Amino acid sequence: MNKLDGKSLDIISQNVEKLKDLFPEVFSEDKINFEKLKEELGSFTDKENERYNFTWNGKQEAKRIAQTPSTGTLRPCKEDSKNWDTTQNLYIEGDNLEVLKLLQKSYHKKVKMIYIDPPYNTGKDFVYKDNFRDNIKNYMEQTGQIDSDGNRLSTNSDTNGRYHSDWLSMMYPRLKLARNLLKDNGVIFISIDEVEYSKLRSLCDEIFGETNHIADLVWQNKKGGGNDSKHIAVEHEYVLIYAKYEVKLHSFFEPYKPEYLKRYKEEDNTGLFFWDTFKRKSGKQYYSIECPDGTILENDELGNPISWLRSEDRFLEDKKIGDVRFFKTKDSWNIHFKQRLPEGKKPRSIFLEESILNSQGTTSDGSSELLNLFKKNIFQNPKPSSLIKHFMTFIVNKDELILDFFSGSGTTAHSVMNLNLDDNSNRKYICVQLPENLDDSLIKAIGPTKATIQSAIEFLEESQKPHFITEIGKERIRRAGDKIKEDNPDKDLSSLDIGFKVYKLDSSNIKEWDSDFDNLETSLLDAVDNIKSDRTSQDLLYEILLKYGLDLTLPIEEKTIEGKTVYNIGFGALVVCLDDNITIEVVEAIAEFIKEQVVYDEEKKKRHARVVFKDKSFADTNVKTNAIQVLKQFDIDEVVSI
């Protein structure tokens, strides 16, 4: 009986397989012959010693950590969740590096849009200090805000000789892994200020490719004040936009303002339009037009050549299909054409006065949102939900997935709910946040930030919740969803998803083999009973889903078969039984159940069925051996133990 693979997706092996598909001739005894590969690439290889290169101290380690599989898991936390049984949204607590690794199988190419607001490396913010040896251990240390020597983690001060390198090493593996989760027509939006803007551009050019850079938006994040600035009152930030594959990207459009749409009052079979004047005072489209009575329009009343809005070929085509009209004036003729409503409005790179974000698009507005929900100032400089909602309107269709792995106060989740309210849709989100300890953050904070953190701690104290930033994020999403329903009593919001499933990063539920020769008997017993004693069947079940690459929001049917609890995922595609003392009668009953659940695909071929048991579940070794044969008789050829 095969063992379930306990690691996340092996990215190196996956890349090697892709290379093998493209260039099978460069492989010999399953190894790459790089000389042959160079020959295949021909003129695309660079033989010069000097070439453009973007590097920093620690880059190779950053690459290695991106490629190292995780052995961790995500444990379900139903008590912190909202609408667990029905929601399609996820809130994950943990180091986003490990979480991104664990999502590689389940959410590979499933995310339409990523928005992140990472640490800006201002010298005051916390930069994740990744441990390249044991990342789960590293996460446990980070949640306690201490390093492996028991020292408190500090901010990435600009006096540090590797100030920029540390930040780049933190960002590289996360962006590398995030790219794998994007759909081929997906997009990432990254907020940043001028401290690391240029470095982030170079980093993204390397990870996503220069040709996939879409634009850098300029967002006015504050208004007024700034007289205490050293030289210039900086009141803007940047938002970098990269596509996974620009050639597969759909057009970007943003919603029109209602006042803009008012002029499009007429409609035909093609769509909305209004009649617009074809003549322009200046331009470069000069040609003569013959009117219905033979009059030639070529010069205006002053004798100057008339400039027309469109080319002559376009005019003749519009005239042919009835999109042009002539009407007699007192002394001459006038020409109108159908100005049709465009497919959408192209977003602008600078958010100025005409922007949809003008009245609600600063960090001050983001703070006001939270103040409205909590009645306390509990988060420093959050992004306004209208900003992220605005980005989503460019590209995210009504049932697609958005990821934010630096989710902070939960603005992205709030934005998704607001946009779903606007157009009655079902976009979904995954939010990931490290449970930073606010008590430790308070020690390092100064000025207004210190007061804000203190206020957040007081709120959590009153609510009897742990002093973690993730508690603020979860409560913000709960309150925002409830307020949306409260503020819209006349709307049918029964289908609006305001819930979320909470998962928490942890080490695997399965014990590692530890050959402790001084306590060999204990080690052998642990190897037999290999599930950790403090873990539940639910913990184990969701680790199985992760390792199989299944969506963590899939509905799971819980059945009792022959007195044993059986989990049915995907109508018999995966059946899991984690109870003990499994007899052959139980195995036969499970096989019969799966037979009843058989689902056929569009080509009428039976879908693959898989069964998972605990390794020590079987009553004896004979049952284990016979179980495989019994299940094979029912065409179930994948039987796995953990």
Q: How is domain 66-158+168-255+346-505 classified at the CATH fold level?
A: Rossmann fold (3.40.50)
Cα gap 413→403, rounded to integer Å: 9
Residue 527 has pLDDT above 90, yes or no: no
Structure tokens at 292: 């219905």
Place of tokens 């499994």: 582
Task: Please give the share of the chain, as a percent, with pLDDT higher than 70.
Answer: 85
The pair of structure tokens assigned to 277 is: 């004047």
What is the average per-residue pLDDT within 82-93? 97
Please write the tens of the pLDDT for every residue from 100-120.
Answer: 999 999 999 999 999 999 998
Query: What are the C-alpha distances in Å from 456 to residues 152, 305, 395, 469, 581?
Result: 21, 69, 34, 9, 49
**Residue 355's pLDDT is what?**
42
Higher pLDDT, 145 or 567: 567
| Cα 279 to Cα 29, 315, 326, 545, distances in angstroms | 73, 12, 12, 64
Q: How far apart are CA 320 and CA 316, in angstroms?
A: 6
Amino acid at 637: D
Question: Does the pLDDT at position 358 exceed 90?
Answer: no
The CA-based dihedral angle spanning residues 503, 607, 185, 198, taken in that order and rounded to the nearest 10 degrees: 40
Query: Residue 133: is its pLDDT beyond 80?
Result: no
Residue 40 pLDDT: 73
Beta carbons within 8 Å of 122's beta carbon, 6+ residues apart: 193, 195
More confident residue, 145 or 311: 311
The Cα 331–Cα 24 span in angstroms is 77
pTM of this structure: 0.81
From 179, 172, 163, select the one nearest 132 (Cα to Cα).
172
Which segments of 103-147 does DSSP mark as H helices, in order? 135-143
Nearest-angstrom CA–CA distance, 382 and 413: 13
SS3 assignment, position 603: coil
Q: In percent, how much of the chain has pLDDT > 90?
A: 50
State residue 351's pLDDT score.
64
Mean pLDDT of 154-180: 83
Q: Tell me what the mean pLDDT of segment 185-211 comes to.
A: 95
- d(CA 155, CA 122) in angstroms, rounded, equals 9
pLDDT band at 92 (very low <50, low <70, confident <90, very high): very high
Find tokens 């080690």 and name the residue: 523
- Quick one: average pLDDT of 73-84? 97
Complete DSSP assignment for 206-258: HHH-GGGEEEEEEEE---S--TTSSS----EEEEEEEES-GGGPPPP-BPPPH
Residue 127 has pLDDT above 60, yes or no: no
Q: CA–CA distance from 554 to each of 108, 331, 433, 557 (Å)?
A: 16, 72, 22, 10
The pLDDT tens digits of the residues spanning 456-490 come to: 999 999 999 999 999 999 999 999 999 999 999 99
pLDDT at 600: 57
Between residues 260 and 146, the one the model is more confident about: 260
Give me the pLDDT at residue 134, please. Answer: 57
Helix (H, G, I), strand (E, B) or coil at 380: coil
- The domain segmentation of the chain, as residue ranges, is 2-51, 66-158+168-255+346-505, 262-340, 522-641
Are the C-beta atoms of 239 and 213 separated by less than 8 Å?
no
pLDDT of residue 353 exceeding 50: no
- Report which of 566, 564, 561, 569 is spatially closest to residue 545, judged by C-alpha positions: 569
Q: Would you place residue 229 in the very low, low, confident or very high pLDDT band (cuts 50, 70, 90)?
A: confident
- Euclidean distance between CA atoms 497 and 598, whole angstroms: 30
